[in-house]
């Protein structure tokens, strides 16, 4: 097993690499790399939110949990896994977006009602 401090450092280096690559993608004329890095950050964020719950227990139960997490982030960014995984997850994201739009509209209605009541 790799020591946690080494894994943490390597993960931060990988995130800096992704940030630098994202910056370079924004500066380039091609939109292909823009899509790669936008997709990476979308999937990375979903992954981080998901594992924030799992981190509490899985680190003690799943062998090589830290290494698996690092490998997944490496796959998403360096090896173009974000572009491979996104088409599989896109229908789920589209459905979740519909639900989010519904609740966003409901929340907006409630805020508008409160504004009218406050006047």
Question: Average of pLDDT values for 92-110?
Answer: 95
Task: Return the pLDDT at 4.
Answer: 84
CA atoms of 83 and 30, how far apart (whole Å): 16
56 has pLDDT over 90: no
49-72 burial: b if 16+ Cβ within 10 Å, else e: eebeeeeeeeeeeeeebbeebbeb
Task: Return the pLDDT at 110.
Answer: 93
The tokens describing 12, both together, are: 């931060």
Q: At what angle do helices 4-27 and 32-61 cross, to 10 degrees?
A: 170
CA atoms of 32 and 115, how far apart (whole Å): 44
Round the average pLDDT of the chain to a whole number and report it: 91
């Amino acid at each position: 097993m790799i020591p946690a401090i080494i894994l943490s450092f390597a993960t931060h280096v990988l995130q800096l690499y992704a940030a630098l690559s994202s910056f370079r993608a924004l500066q380039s004329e091609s939109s292909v790399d823009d899509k790669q890095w936008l997709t990476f950050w979308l999937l990375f964020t979903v992954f981080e939110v998901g594992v924030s719950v799992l981190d509490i227990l899985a680190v003690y139960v799943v062998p090589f949990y830290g290494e698996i997490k690092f490998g997944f982030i490496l796959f998403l960014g360096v090896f173009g896994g974000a572009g491979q995984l996104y088409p599989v997850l896109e229908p789920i994201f589209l459905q979740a977006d519909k639900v989010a739009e519904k609740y966003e509209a409901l929340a907006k209605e409630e805020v508008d009602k409160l504004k009218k009541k406050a006047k």
